[in-house]
Chain A
C-alpha cells in the first residue's frame, strides 16, 4: 500500500503525445512483423523448405522426362515455383492472423485510438518481406542449379515486382479466411484445399499441351497460369504487355473486392 502514499512517476498522469498518422501506425505494425522474423526464424524454414524440395525433385526427378533435361526444365519451372511459393506463403499469413485473433491480441489493437486498418498494413509488410526472402532464396538456388534469366537484371526485378503484386492480391483471400475462421489449422486446410488444384492444374509444372482438352481449357484461364506466363516472360525476356496485364488481373480484382470486405468483417466483429 506504500504505492498509494507515494504515487510513483508511472502512475502520475502521462499526457498523450500528439496522435500519430495512419502511416506511422502502419509502420509500427510492419516493425512488429520484422521482429517476428527475428524471434521466430523457424517460420522462414517452413516457408522455403517446401519450394526448395519442389525445385529439386521436379528438376532432377521429372525434369528430364518433362523437358528433355533438368536444366531445360528449370528454365520454365523456376518462375512457376516462385508463383507457387508466394501463393502458399499467403496461407501462412492467414494462419498468423487467425492465431492473433484467437489470442485476444486484436482486442487490444481494436480498443486503441488508431487507424483501424493499420494491423492489416503490418500483415502486408510482413508478407512482402516473406515473399522477398523466400523468392530470393529460391532464385539463388535456381541460379546455382543453372537457371539463367534471359530477361536480365531488369527482367528479374520486373518479375519480382509482379510476384509481390501476386502475393499482395492472394494475401487478401487468407486475411478474409483468417477473420472468419478462428482455428489456424482450419485456415491451413481450407487454404491448401483451395490452392492445390489451382497450382497443380496450371502451367507451372507441366506443359498444358500434354493434358486432355477440358483440362487444358481450364489451365489456359487459370489465373495461376496467367501469372506464371507473365513472370516467365518478364524473367526470360520477351513478355508482352498483354501477358503482364493478364497476370495482374487476378491480384487487382482480389484486392478490389476483398480489401473492402476485410474492413467490413473486421469492423463487424
Chain B
C-alpha cells in the first residue's frame, strides 16, 4: 500500500499481442440483467476505438470494469499488459477515465480541482500550479479558473472533466460519452481535443450513441447491444459488410409505409428504417441489382413511389440494420 515503492513493470507483450486493451469474454451481471455478456475486444496502441451502442447496451459497465471501478464476474482483460484483476494498481497507473457524469468537486474552483489531481499524482508546489494552469489555458478555461465548478456550463464541465484526465498523459484514456449533451460547437471542440490527444500517442477508448461521432473520430468501431458485441471493424468495413449501398424510397401514399417495409424486409432480409420524412424508408442493400429487384417488388405490390435513390449507407443505417439483425438472431435462438 506504500505508494512510494515503484510498481514493478510487467509488460507481457506475448499474451496481449501488444494491444493497449485486450478483452476476452468479459462479463458483468447486475441481478438478472446481463449488462455485459461475454465481450472480446482488442484495441491497438495509439488508436481511437469507439464503442457504439444504444442506451443500456452495456458501454458504461464495460468501461467501468476496464477502469477497475467494478470487478468483472467472468472473463479476462488486460490494459497495457497489466491484468485487470491481478494488477489493478498498475492498470490505474496507465489509464485515466472521464466518466459519463462529471466527476468533479462542484464546491471547488476549476483550478483547485486540477491542482488537487496534480498533487495526488505527485506534482509538487509550483509544478502542480503550472500544470493546472497549462491545462486550464489549453481547455479554454483560464477565465473561469477561479469560479466554483457548480457555476460552469455543461460544455465547460465536460472540458474540465477531460482536462482532469490529462494531468499526466495516460497510456489509455477512457471517455464515456464525451459529447453527450453538448451543443455542436462544444462537440467540435471536444472532437479536436480527442484528435490532438490521439496525435500525441494516447490510446483512446470512447463510447458514444452517435454514429456520426464514431464515424468521424474512430479508427475502429465495435457495435454493442444488450451486452454483446454485434459487429466490429472500421467504419468502412462495417458499411461494406452489410452492403455497399443503401436504397431510399419515398412513397406516394404514406399509409402504405408498413406494407412497403414488409415487402423490403422480405426481399432483402434486413429491416427497413423509417426515414426523416413521413413516407420514406431506407434499407441497406448488397448490390444495385438487389435494390433494383426490391423496387420492382414494391411496384408489383401496387405501392407507388414518389421517388427512389441509391446511395452509400450512413453509419446510422448500418447500425439500424445491425441491431435489427441481431434482435432477429436472438429471436431465432429462442
- A residues near B (Cβ < 8 Å) are 1-4, 7-22, 24-25, 28, 31-32, 35-36, 39-40, 100, 103-108, 110-116, 118, 269
Q: In the complex, are the beta carbons of A107 and B196 less than 8 A apart?
A: no
Q: In the complex, are the beta carbons of B3 and A107 less than 8 A apart?
A: no
Q: In the complex, are the beta carbons of A14 and B169 less than 8 A apart?
A: yes
Q: A7-B199, A21-B2, A40-B107 are in contact. Are A110 and B193 (CB under 8 A)?
A: no
Return chain A residues, CB-CB under 8 Å to B108.
Answer: 32, 35-36, 39
Q: In the complex, are the beta carbons of A12 and B200 less than 8 A apart?
A: yes
Instruction: Report B72-98 residues with CB < 8 Å from chain A CB.
Output: 89, 92-93, 95-97
Q: In the complex, are the beta carbons of B169 and A13 less than 8 A apart?
A: yes
Q: Kindly list 15 other residue pairs between chains A and B, CB separation below 8 angstroms, not including A10-B135, A19-B122, A105-B105.
A: A3-B195, A8-B138, A12-B200, A13-B200, A14-B166, A16-B168, A28-B116, A36-B107, A100-B105, A103-B103, A105-B103, A105-B104, A113-B7, A113-B121, A118-B120
Most buried by B among A1, A32, A36: A32
Cβ-based interface call for B308 (8 A): no
Q: A7-B199, A7-B200, A111-B69 are in contact. Are A14 and B122 (CB under 8 A)?
A: no
Q: In the complex, are the beta carbons of B3 and A22 less than 8 A apart?
A: yes
List 23 A–B pairs whose Cβ atoms lie within 8 Å, in order of A's numbering: A9-B138, A10-B166, A12-B169, A13-B169, A14-B131, A14-B166, A15-B168, A21-B2, A22-B1, A22-B2, A22-B3, A35-B108, A35-B112, A39-B108, A103-B101, A103-B102, A103-B106, A105-B103, A105-B105, A107-B97, A107-B103, A111-B95, A114-B3
Q: A1-B195, A108-B164 are in contact. Are A19 and B4 (CB under 8 A)?
A: yes
Specify which of A7, A20, A35, A39 is in contact with B120 (CB 8 Å cutoff): A20
Return chain A residues, CB-CB under 8 Å to B104.
Answer: 105, 108
| CA gap between A217 and B123 in the complex, in Å | 56
| CA gap between A118 and B122 in the complex, in Å | 14
Return chain B residues, CB-CB under 8 Å to A111.
Answer: 67-69, 92, 95-97
Return chain A residues, CB-CB under 8 Å to B236.
Answer: none
Cβ-based interface call for B6 (8 A): yes
Q: In the complex, are the beta carbons of A17 and B199 less than 8 A apart?
A: no
Return chain B residues, CB-CB under 8 Å to A24.
Answer: 119
Q: In the complex, are the beta carbons of A108 and B101 less than 8 A apart?
A: no
Q: In the complex, are the beta carbons of B102 and A13 less than 8 A apart?
A: no
Cβ-based interface call for B256 (8 A): no
Return chain B residues, CB-CB under 8 Å to A2.
Answer: 192
Q: Which residue of A lies closest to B164 (CB)?
A: A108
Q: A17-B121, A35-B112, A107-B99 are in contact. Are A1 and B69 (CB under 8 A)?
A: no
Q: In the complex, are the beta carbons of A17 and B102 less than 8 A apart?
A: no
Distance from B103 Cβ to chain A, minimum over Cβ atoms (Å) = 4
Instruction: Report B1-35 residues with CB < 8 Å from chain A CB.
Output: 1-4, 6-7
Q: A4-B196, A107-B99 are in contact. Are A10 and B120 (CB under 8 A)?
A: no
Distance from A42 Cβ to chain B, minimum over Cβ atoms (Å) = 11
Return chain A residues, CB-CB under 8 Å to B131.
Answer: 14
| CA gap between A9 and B67 in the complex, in Å | 26
For this complex, into which size category does the number of interface residues on chain B fall? 35 or more
Q: In the complex, are the beta carbons of B2 and A4 less than 8 A apart?
A: no
Most buried by A among B89, B95, B164, B196: B196
Return chain B residues, CB-CB under 8 Å to A112.
Answer: 92, 117, 120-121
| CA gap between A1 and B6 in the complex, in Å | 38
Specify which of A4, A28, A36 is in contact with B199 (CB 8 Å cutoff): A4
Cβ-based interface call for B148 (8 A): yes
Q: In the complex, are the beta carbons of A1 and B93 less than 8 A apart?
A: no
| CA gap between A101 and B312 in the complex, in Å | 46
| CA gap between A22 and B197 in the complex, in Å | 30
Q: Which residue of A lies closest to B68 (CB)?
A: A111
Q: In the complex, are the beta carbons of A4 and B195 less than 8 A apart?
A: yes
Return chain A residues, CB-CB under 8 Å to B197.
Answer: 11
Q: A17-B127, A20-B119 are in contact. Are A108 and B97 (CB under 8 A)?
A: yes
Bitwise interface map of B from 162 to 176 toward A, beta carbon under 8 Å scored 1, else 0: 001011110000000
Distance from A108 Cβ to chain B, minimum over Cβ atoms (Å) = 4
Return chain B residues, CB-CB under 8 Å to A115.
Answer: 1, 3
Return chain A residues, CB-CB under 8 Å to B135.
Answer: 10
Q: In the complex, are the beta carbons of B164 and A16 less than 8 A apart?
A: no
| CA gap between A25 and B124 in the complex, in Å | 11
Q: In the complex, are the beta carbons of A32 and B99 less than 8 A apart?
A: no
| CA gap between A114 and B112 in the complex, in Å | 18
| CA gap between A35 and B69 in the complex, in Å | 27
Return chain A residues, CB-CB under 8 Å to B192.
Answer: 1-4
| CA gap between A35 and B169 in the complex, in Å | 27
| CA gap between A32 and B118 in the complex, in Å | 13
Interface pairs A-B: 7 shortest CB-CB? A17-B122, A10-B138, A108-B103, A3-B196, A113-B93, A113-B92, A11-B200
| CA gap between A14 and B168 in the complex, in Å | 5
Return chain B residues, CB-CB under 8 Å to A32.
Answer: 105, 108, 116
Return chain B residues, CB-CB under 8 Å to A269.
Answer: 69-70
Bitwise interface map of B from 143 to 167 toward A, beta carbon under 8 Å scored 1, else 0: 0000010000000000000001011
Most buried by A among B69, B122, B168, B197: B122
Return chain A residues, CB-CB under 8 Å to B6.
Answer: 19
Return chain B residues, CB-CB under 8 Å to A105.
Answer: 103-105
Q: In the complex, are the beta carbons of B105 and A10 less than 8 A apart?
A: no
Q: In the complex, are the beta carbons of B4 and A11 less than 8 A apart?
A: no
Q: Which residue of B lies closest to A32 (CB)?
A: B116
Most buried by A among B102, B105, B134, B148: B105
